[in-house]
Amino acid sequence: MTKFPEPPEDDYAFIYLEDTDRPLPAKLTPRTRYAYFKTIARGGKCIVQSCKDMHLGRTICYKKLRPEFEDDPIEQRRFVREARVSAMLQHPNTIPTYELGRDAREHYYFTMKLVHGYTLREVLNFRERYDFHQLIDVLTQVGQALGYAHSHHVIHRDLKPENILVGPFGEVLLMDWGLAKVWRGAPAPPDARPEGPGSNRRLAAEAQEAEPDSSLTGRGALQGTAAYMSPEQIRRDPAIDYRSDIFSFGVMLYEVLCGRTPWEAGTVREMTERIVGEEPVRPSRWTRTTVPPLLEDLAMGCIGRDPAARIQECPEIVRQLREHW
C-alpha cells in the first residue's frame, strides 16, 4: 500500500532542548509573540502564514485578511466567525484553533495548528499512486467531521477536495469554515438536545425556521465551488441545511469512484445549470475500473437534486463506507 506523500524534511519544525528550557520574556505581549513569518498560501480573501510562537516554541499557522479586506466590516465579521466556529468544533478531524486576536495595526488574525501534508485535490491528481481503500478512509474521516459539525448546528457549505488536508501520519482534516452557516438560537440544555436516528431531521426543521444572515453569506453572491454545490445552494435558498453538505460529500465520493464529478462544463453558469437541471448518471459509466455497487449506490443516494431524496444523515454515510463493500 502506497503511503501518502511526506513533505520535505526541512519543512518540519524539529524540537530542540534549548527551545524547551528557554525562559519566558519578563513582559509578555502578543505584539512580540509571533516571529519568522513565511507565507504558505494566498486565498481570495485571506493570507495563511507559518510562524514561530516565541512563548511556546512551536511553529504554527497564522491566518489574516488580505490588505484590501482588513478594514471591511463584513469580512471582519465573517473572519471572526470562521475563527470561532473552527475553535468550537473540537473534533480529531478539524484543525485546532489556538488564538484570536489583533496585531500591532489592530487587524484581526487567528492562529491554528500547522499540519504538513497535501490537499485531497492534490492526492486525487495522482490517484494512481494510492490504494482505493486509503481514499475511502479519507472520506470516512471527513464524514465523521461533518456529522460532528451538523450535530453542533454548523453547516460547512464549501466542502470540496481543496478543503481537506491529508497528512503523512494519518491526519485527515476538514478545513476552511469561512462559509459556514450556524443555525441561530440559544443552545438547548443537554437533556433537550435531539438524539437518535431522527435527530438531524429535527435539526433541519430548526434550520429552516432560522433567520438567514444575508450579511455574512456572500452579500447575495454565489458562494463556494460550482462543481460541488448543491442545487439549493445554487438557488441561494435561505433555508439551506446540512443536506447541502451531504450533496457535496456525494460529489467527492463520485469523483473518487470514477475520476470525475457528476457534471462537467466549461463555464460556471453551464455547470450550475446542469446541476440544477440534469439527472446524474452512475459513476460506473465513466470508468472501466470496477466500481463497488454499494459505494456507487451511496454516491447516487447523496447527490439527489431533491434534499428529501438524499441520504439524510452523515452517520449513515459513515456506516456504509465502513461496510465490506
Catalytic pick among 53, 158, 241, 245:
158
How far from the centroid of its chain's Cα atoms is residue 271's Cα? 22
Q: According to the model, what pLDDT value does residue 27 have? A: 80
Q: According to the model, what pLDDT value does residue 18 have? A: 76
**Of 144, 153, 140, residue with least CA distance to 92:** 144
Stronger pLDDT, 299 or 29, i.e. the higher one: 299
Q: According to the model, what pLDDT value does residue 217 have? A: 38
Place 189 in a pLDDT band, splitting at 50, 70 and 90.
very low
Q: According to the model, what pLDDT value does residue 26 have? A: 81
Which residue matches cell numbers 463556494?
224
Answer whether residue 178 shows pLDDT above 80.
Answer: yes
Distances (CA, A) of 312 to 114, 159, 245: 33, 17, 10
pLDDT > 90: percent of the chain:
69
Q: According to the model, what pLDDT value does residue 78 have? A: 92
Asked whether the beta carbons of 252 and 160 are under 8 A apart, the reply is yes
Residues 239-248, mean pLDDT to the nearest whole number: 96
Asked whether the beta carbons of 62 and 109 are under 8 A apart, the reply is yes
Place 7 in a pLDDT band, splitting at 50, 70 and 90.
low
| Tens of pLDDT, residues 275-320 | 999 999 999 999 999 999 999 999 999 999 999 999 999 999 999 9
Answer whether residue 227 shows pLDDT above 50.
Answer: yes
Please confirm, yes or no, whether 158 is among the known catalytic residues: yes
Stronger pLDDT, 202 or 34, i.e. the higher one: 34
Residues 122-128, mean pLDDT to the nearest whole number: 92
Answer whether residue 206 shows pLDDT above 80.
Answer: no
Q: List the Cα angle 227/143/173 in 5-degree steps.
A: 85
Name 59's bridge partners. Answer: 52
Distances (CA, A) of 21 to 17, 18, 99, 115: 6, 5, 23, 24
Query: In the chain, what are the domains?
Result: 9-112 (3.30.200.20), 118-209+218-321 (1.10.510.10)
Name 174's bridge partners. Answer: 94, 164
Answer whether residue 181 shows pLDDT above 60.
Answer: yes
